[in-house]
Structure 1
């Protein structure tokens, strides 16, 4: 039953992010970004290099923290979720900064910040939900 609830939350967050992005893109008269799965639209080469460093660092830290959580601290598995949330927020914050500072359309950073806010709020709700279940 927990997985059904989690799946519903993920679907709801996806729909909410999509609706907010669509609304903001229409409001600011911006074009949709054409992205492929697990790719990113970089503003410039510096953004690409920094983003790749953040992704590599996040993968290493997540693998280490997940391994430590499984081997030593099973009750701290939510910590891995929180760490992954921080890296996602860092990546979206980096993207918003480069869109605001170096992009031709600085308004696109507002769309990214809105997406980041929704993901953060939904993740906090999921963490609170799982903390209530586990205790």
Structure 2
């Protein structure tokens, strides 16, 4: 099962890279230099909002995981929370890239990445690819 999960994630990353490459060429977007696993905040306000959002994510995740494992709520509850918070994180990043960055076209890449990831997670949930829901 872990191999399947790894292959699905690898496929999503490859698809995301392909879409980003195509959009960069099509829209003439310069490639940003960024470190691996860096947060790449546009400004201090973006950093504050992102840190606040991560704390909310951590708190809500802990509550939902408690409900799923102790009170036997369906795991789809956590997966739906994951989708909502992931979308919120990407929208915040895209907003700050669009409004406060010297390269506003980067927001297009952020939104496309969000769409790919949310579509993939929704696909996995809807078709119960890893038999989580059964």
Query: Is the TM-score greater than 0.5?
Result: yes
Q: Residue 57 in 1 paired to residue 56 in 2?
A: yes
TM-score by length of 2: 0.87
After superposition, what is the alpha-carbon deviation per residue over 1:85-126, rounded to whole angstroms, capped at 9, x for unaligned?
A: 211111011001111111111111111111011111111100
Tell me which stretches of 4 or more aligned residues in structure 1 moved more than 6 Å: none
Contact 1:89 1:116 in 2 (8 A): yes
What is the DSSP-based 3-state SS (H/G/I as helix, E as strand, rest coil) of the residue aligned with 2:32?
A: coil
Runs of 5+ consecutive residues of structure 2 not aligned to the other structure: none
Q: 8 Å contact 1:54–1:91 — kept in the other structure?
A: yes
RMSD: 2.0
- Structure 1 position 42, deviation (Å): 1.1
1:130, CA displacement in angstroms? 1.7
Which residues of structure 1 form unaligned runs of 5+? none
Alpha-carbon distance between aligned partners in 1 of 2:98 and 2:83, rounded to the nearest angstrom: 22
- Report the Cα distance in structure 2 between the residues aligned to 1:43 and 1:116, rounded to whole angstroms: 18
* CA–CA separation in structure 1 for the residues paired with 2:59 and 2:111: 26
Q: Provide Cα deviations, 1:11-52, integer angstroms capped at 9, x if missing partner.
A: 111110111112222333333333344421111111111011
Q: Between Structure 1 and Structure 2, how many residues are aligned? A: 133
Residue 128 of structure 1: aligned partner:
126
Q: Within 1, Cα distance between the matches of 2:9 and 2:130? A: 18
What residue number does 1:116 align with? 114
Q: Hey, what's the Cα distance between the residues in 1 that align with 2:7 and 2:67?
A: 29
Contact 1:99 1:109 in 2 (8 A): yes
Confirm or deny that 1:39 pairs with 2:44. Answer: no
- Provide TM-score, normalisation by structure 1: 0.86
